[in-house]
Amino acid sequence: MSEDDDPICPLCGRPIPPGAKQSLHHLVPRLKGGKGGPVVRLHQICHSEIHATLTEAELARDYHTIAALRAHPRLARFLAWVAKRPPGFHARSAGGRRKG
C-alpha cells in the first residue's frame, strides 16, 4: 500500500500510514447520544488533542462536525503545527487545558 492509498485524517488532512497510532472518534460523544452515530478515523495525536481541548458537552453541543473542530482556535493552531510533521508522527498531547 503506498502513501497515496493510506486513509486521510479528516482533521489534519495528512495520510494515516499503516502502523501509525490512530483511533476512531465519535463526532457526537457516545455518552451524549452518539452511540451508533458517525465516527471518523483520526491520527491518535489529532484525536487526543480534541479531547484535551473540549469537554464531552462542548463536543456534543457545538463541535460535532469536522468543520467546527477545525474552526476552534486551539485546534486550528494545533492543526497548523501538526501539518508540518510527518504522517506517522505521534507525541503526547499537552492535555489538561480543557474546562471541567
* DSSP, res 31: G
pLDDT higher than threshold 50 for residue 100: no
Cell of 21: 497510532
Q: What's the pLDDT tens digit per position in 28-47?
A: 999 999 999 999 999 999 99
Q: Is residue 100 packed enough to be buried (19+ CB in 10 Å), middle (13-18) or exposed (0-12)?
A: exposed
Label residue 3 by pLDDT band (50, 70, 90).
low
For the chain, which residues make up each domain, given as ranges? 3-82
**Helix or strand (DSSP H, E) at 22:** strand 22-26
- The reply to whether the predicted model has a pTM over 0.85 is yes
Q: What's the pLDDT tens digit per position in 44-87?
A: 999 999 999 999 999 999 999 999 999 999 999 999 999 999 99
